[in-house]
Amino acid sequence: MTVDADRLEHLLELVAAGDRAAFADLYDRTGPRVYGMVLRVLRDPGYSEEVTQDVYLQIWRDAGRFDAEQGSAMSWLLTIAHRRAVDRVRSESSASARENRYGLRSLAEVVAGVDDEVLMREAGGRVRDCLGTLTDLQAQAVSMAYYDGFTYREVADRLAVALPTVKSRIRDGLKRLRGCLGSE
């Protein structure tokens, strides 16, 4: 479907006035392009769907701010989409870094205070034993993240699973490790 610039501007005016039918028409006309922009930035269909939804919520709220003298309606929509997608990338990067720091700190706490070789070997044996209590998927994700030094995104890519799945596996695995090691 071709996108007529005048029609989009008119639809944005109607959306600004609270016209739901105009909003649905705007979405039908622009949704694929907005989603495509977000997907190119995020490269994850699930996150892209969420961000696209956020984009349209912002459009619903801010349609009155559109100024045709500043640029076309489609440019305005795609700018919002791009900004939202970049914000999501930054947010995920920050969250991943935070979780990595927390995970490393948690693992360090498990073995903190062990100051001689015998205790280190004993603790290492306990950690290996406790790793055996994890599911294969948890053990694989934890090992890749904390022993091989991969980021959560790299673990997700190597295991061919979604990033939230990897985060859940690692979080649940670390929780089980802490319980097994008696540090909770």
The per-residue pLDDT string of the chain (184 residues; one tens digit each, 9 = 90 and over) reads 344 889 999 999 999 999 999 999 999 999 999 999 999 999 989 989 999 999 999 999 999 999 999 999 999 999 999 999 999 988 887 766 667 777 666 665 555 554 456 556 666 667 777 778 888 888 888 888 878 888 888 889 988 989 898 888 888 888 888 888 875 4
* Token pair listed for 175: 């929780």
Cβ–Cβ contacts within 10 Å for residue 176, how many? 19
**What is the pLDDT, as a whole number, of residue 73?**
95
CATH of the domain at 32: 1.10.1740.10
Q: What is the pLDDT of residue 178?
A: 85
Torsion of CA 31, 32, 33, 34, to 10 degrees: 50
- Output the six-digit token pair for 32: 């694929």
Q: Are residues 85 and 6 in the same domain?
A: yes
Is there a domain that residue 52 lies in? yes
Flag whether 152 is in a domain: yes
**Residue 4 placed within a domain:** yes
Look at residue 116 in the predicted model and tell me its pLDDT: 55
- Per-residue pLDDT, 128: 75
Do 89 and 44 sit in the same domain of this protein?
Answer: yes
Look-up of token digits 């016209």: 19
Same structural domain, 136 and 81: no
Residue 184's pLDDT is what? 44
Q: For residue 183, what pLDDT is reported? A: 58
Residue 109 resides in a domain: no
pTM tops 0.85, yes or no: no
Range of the domain at 47: 1-100
Query: Is 43 inside a domain boundary?
Result: yes
* 87 and 143 share one domain: no
| Residue 34 and residue 65 share a domain | yes
Quick count: other Cβ atoms within 10 Å of Cβ 62? Answer: 14
State the Cα angle at 12 between 7 and 18, rounded to 5°: 130
Return the number of other C-beta atoms located less than 10 Å from residue 182's C-beta: 9
Rounded Cα–Cα distance for residues 38 and 56 (Å) = 12
Provide the number of structural domains found in the chain: 2
